Amino acid sequence: MSTTAPDRQQENPLAEGLALRRTPDPCALVIFGASGDLTHKKLMPALYALAVRRLLPPRFAIVGVARTGGDDGSFREDMANAVKQHARDPFRQDVWDELAAQLHYLATDFADSSGEDKLHGLLGELDEKEELGGKRVFYLAVPPPAFPTIVEALGKRRDERGWTRLVVEKPFGHDLASAKELTATLLEYFKEEEIFRIDHYLGKETVQNMLALRFANGIFEPIWNRQFVDHVQITVAESIGIEARAGYYEQAGAIRDIFQNHLLQLLALTAMEPPIDFTSASVHNEKVKVLRALHTPAPRSVVRGQYGRGFIEGEEVVAYREEAGVAAESMTETFVAAKLYVDNWRWADTPFYVRMGKRLARHETTIAIQFKEAPHPPFEESAAEGVRPNVLVVHVQPDEGVSLAIGAKVPGQGMTIRTVHMDFLYGGTFRTGMPEAYERLILDTMLGDSTLFTRADEVEEQWLLVDSIVAAWQRDKPSFPNYPSGTWGPPSAEELLHRDGRAWRRP
């Protein structure tokens, strides 16, 4: 166990072994987009958390690249502030000093070839000084239009002595055609196993716990199918609006921002067959089978919405169309709900109801497996009127954990049954802070493990479905806005389930 792990974690026997992981090879991590939001809010705080836990390679260098002017000194200062503001651990000067000594900055533009020469030169120097052996992780934290220029420059100057890994941030394309084009560009210079497409949801502990829950426990798998499961509900709800991202969001909408990647990945992990092992190829193979089995929903099985004015936590908020940078008549959707079917033996005829949106009543991501009702209740109807069918809920965020709704007898003379919840709360059980998704994902790229990333064929299947939904949307024009901020979406989302005699879970 790491000597720097929080004391409380050491007291807990369940937490034993939590810090035991392979340490990556010495390497250089080059972050393109080092002056951007992602680097400040996620990447640098994650690197700091890894440093606190001594999980970074013994010999290591981080090179930040961006066009904005600066040098090693200003970059270190900027990153120290980012860590103080966004890291999950308190700032420790000793840890920071060690990490800061490994930080370098290159102000350059890859649109002109001097950029690649400078980077090549700097990496050569660092290789020699730190004995990094030509091992590199290139992290593309830049807007997608900048990808091809950088990829081409890197591909042409590959260092064949060590290994090379390329991390690509979302969005991976805008539709199937652009995703294929991007993959083709990457494959010109990199092998598929060198490409790490980030879907940061897959780095979340509770998403991985879905796999542990299903495949490390004998009791769930036999009932994880159409015979026992009535339906599945997946909710990715945000209470925030689009913040300052109108430029991106107006083009993407909820379907490209969340549905195409995070939501379909959660569905794939829920519905996939048990992989024969936990290697990345086996996991990807099973996920892609689910994505292939998803067929295009009928237009009436897809609902879209856009938020109007309303209240979030007592504060009045503006409508989507009133947000800075959004067109006054914008038809961009901020909410999508759909009924999907996975056409295979395990799930045929079992609906997967999914919904995601902004400015909803609560910030939460959950996967709920609703089981069928008990076939024959031997109790009087009135005794069991408070009983609902069993539901297993995986709380991805916040309050990470799992809860199972079961019928239990109310104490007393009669036989009255009520639904109660058996809860497992992650933080409470393991008494440890939850790692941020980016910590796990950055470490995995250095370790060369792409299990928690998205393979090209998965991305393409996801786009195929999204393209077919978006094509159907061209035919009608809903009246937007159609849900007030602070609610659970438009009434048609409720009707989607009511038509089937069901209802959305209420948190």
Ligand X SMILES: NC(=O)c1ccc[n+]([C@@H]2O[C@H](COP(=O)([O-])OP(=O)(O)OC[C@H]3O[C@@H](n4cnc5c(N)ncnc54)[C@H](OP(=O)(O)O)[C@@H]3O)[C@@H](O)[C@H]2O)c1
Q: Which of 63, 87, 141, 340 binds ligand X (CB under 6 A)?
A: 141
Nearer to ligand X, 38 or 82 (CB): 38
Residues 6+ apart with CB under 8 A from 375: none
Contact status: 33 vs ligand X (CB under 6 A) = yes
Kindly determine how many residues on this chain lie close enough to bind ligand X according to the rule CB under 6 A: 20
Nearer to ligand X, 68 or 279 (CB): 68
Place of tokens 């987009």: 33
Q: Which of 134, 144, 148, 155 binds ligand X (CB under 6 A)?
A: 144
Q: How far does CA 237 lie from the centroid of its chain?
A: 13
Instruction: Report in angstroms the alpha-carbon separations of 5 from 11, 25, 296, 427, 473.
Output: 11, 22, 48, 15, 51
Query: Shortest Cβ distance from residue 247 to ligand X (Å)?
Result: 9
Q: Which of 28, 38, 202, 446 binds ligand X (CB under 6 A)?
A: 38
Please list every residue from 165 through 224 that binds ligand X, using CB under 6 A: 169-171
The tokens describing 188, both together, are: 């010109």
Per-residue binding string, ligand X, 85-114, x by CB under 6 A, is -------------------------x----
Please list every residue from 57 through 86 that binds ligand X, using CB under 6 A: 66-68
User: Whole-angstrom distance between the N-terminal and C-terminal Cα of the chain?
Assistant: 37
Nearer to ligand X, 110 or 488 (CB): 110
Please list every residue from 223 through 252 that binds ligand X, using CB under 6 A: none
* Cα–Cα distance for residue pair 38/169, rounded to 1 Å: 10
- Give the residues across from 138 on adjacent strands: 30, 166
- Residue of 231, 162, 207, 154 whose CA lies nearest to 185: 154
Contact status: 383 vs ligand X (CB under 6 A) = no
Contact status: 37 vs ligand X (CB under 6 A) = yes
Q: Find the residue with minimal CB distance to ligand X.
A: 36
Contact status: 505 vs ligand X (CB under 6 A) = no
CA triple 222-223-225, angle to 5 deg: 105
Select the span of 35-43, 155-163, 367-375, 475-483 touching ligand X (CB under 6 A).
Answer: 35-43
Q: Which of 24, 26, 28, 35 binds ligand X (CB under 6 A)?
A: 35
Task: Give the neighbor-by-neighbor strand order of the sheet with 307-312.
Answer: 315-317, 307-312, 483-485
- Catalytic residue of the set 174, 262, 284, 395: 262
Nearer to ligand X, 75 or 110 (CB): 110
- Residue of 209, 346, 227, 310 whose CA lies nearest to 266: 209
Place of tokens 């999907």: 340
Does residue 395 carry a catalytic annotation?
no
Residues 6+ apart with CB under 8 A from 362: 237, 239, 507
Contact status: 464 vs ligand X (CB under 6 A) = no
Binding site for ligand X (CB under 6 A): 33-38, 41-42, 66-68, 110, 141-144, 146, 169-171
Residues taking part in catalysis? 262
